[in-house]
Amino acid sequence: MSDAIHPTALVDPRARLGARVSVGAYSVVGAETMLGDDVELGHHVILEGRVEVADRARIGHGCVLGGAPQDLKFKPETVSGVRVGVGTVLREYVTVHRATTPERWTEIGRDCLVMGLAHVAHDCRLGDGVIVINYAGITGHCQIGDRVTVGGLTGMVPFTRVGTGAYIGGMAKVNADVPPYMMVEGQPATVRGVNVVGLRRCGIPAADRTALREAYRLLYRSGLAPKRAVERIREEVPACGPVLELIDFIGGAIRHGICGPPRGGIDEPVADAEGVAD
């Protein structure tokens, strides 16, 4: 046994471990586990069933990956699993449950950060660069786009979709789809503005940021119904990539619809997160 595997760890001999893997004290690595190169498991980690952890990922103390879904319809004999992407970090006591459908996966993308005591439920898909802050609960079948931030203590209903680059404030109650590049907060969560700082950080050009803010004004400050607002966006706003992504996302919001504006509307100027009004 490698010196990097603590003598109290239980590693099934059928598990496949890459180079330079470290396993902490009292951790349990099941037979169907695949660990990439330079993976680090903390103490008291449990990997059960099909679990694939890609290169350079770090799994914090007390995490449980691959556990049975908290779904009364789930059949224990279902063969499914959990995948964690390259460079992703799961902090202490994160739980990630396997999928409910045979041969499917609960997936967390590359370079994500899931903070302590957060939960990712069965059949979820988290994109790349996602940040999930402490105690957030992502329920079953949710789809989280790239570079999304989910605030601490946030909860969302099953089958929620969150678009690329969205920002969800802490303690939000998300019961509708969150459009890409928007900032939401509240109970229920409502759209408060465009995530301009996030757009800048991921290199979206200034012209595209301006177009997205124009689309936001039509969608959330004009008083128009979403369908009519989208028609106006198509007519009046430059058809850049982020705007087209926003339109496509709204068209796919069939189950829950999209988060609306705060009750009573927004009467303050639209500003980015650095406080610069447009």
Q: What pLDDT does residue 270 have?
A: 43
pLDDT band of 265, cuts 50, 70, 90:
low
State which amino acid sits at residue 105.
Answer: W
104 in a structural domain: yes
Active site residue 248: no
136 in a structural domain: yes
41 in a structural domain: yes
Active site residue 140: yes
Q: What is the pLDDT of residues 108-129, one digit of tens each?
A: 999 999 999 999 999 999 999 9
State yes or no: pLDDT of 277 exceeds 50. no
194 in a structural domain: no
Q: What pLDDT does residue 272 have?
A: 46
The one catalytic residue in 62, 81, 140, 155 is 140
Contact 134, 114 (CB under 8 A): no
Question: Residue 30 sits in a domain of what CATH number?
Answer: 2.160.10.10
User: pLDDT averaged over the chain?
Assistant: 94
Q: What pLDDT does residue 263 have?
A: 85
Q: What is the pLDDT of residues 218-262, one digit of tens each?
A: 999 999 999 999 999 999 999 999 999 999 999 999 999 999 999
Q: Supply 104's token pair.
A: 């499917």
The one catalytic residue in 24, 30, 123, 272 is 123
Stretch 205-226: mean pLDDT: 97
φ and ψ at residue 233, rounded to 5 degrees: -60, -45
CA distance 81 to 66: 6
61 in a structural domain: yes
Stretch 67-90: mean pLDDT: 97
**By C-alpha distance, which of 68, 251, 264, 104 is closest to 177?**
251
Q: What pLDDT does residue 146 have?
A: 98
State yes or no: pLDDT of 60 exceeds 80. yes
Give kind and range of the element (H or E) at residue 251.
helix 241-251
| Containing structural domain, residue 101 | 10-141
φ and ψ at residue 126, rounded to 5 degrees: -105, 130
Stretch 162-176: mean pLDDT: 98
The total domain count for the chain is 1
162 in a structural domain: no
Q: 152-171 burial, b for 16+ CB within 10 Å, e for fewer?
A: bebbbbbebbbbbbbbbbeb
69 in a structural domain: yes
State yes or no: pLDDT of 268 exceeds 70. no
The one catalytic residue in 44, 97, 119, 122 is 122
Active site residue 119: no
Least confident range of 2-6, 91-95, 149-153, 176-180: 2-6
State yes or no: pLDDT of 267 exceeds 50. no
Stretch 42-63: mean pLDDT: 98
161 in a structural domain: no
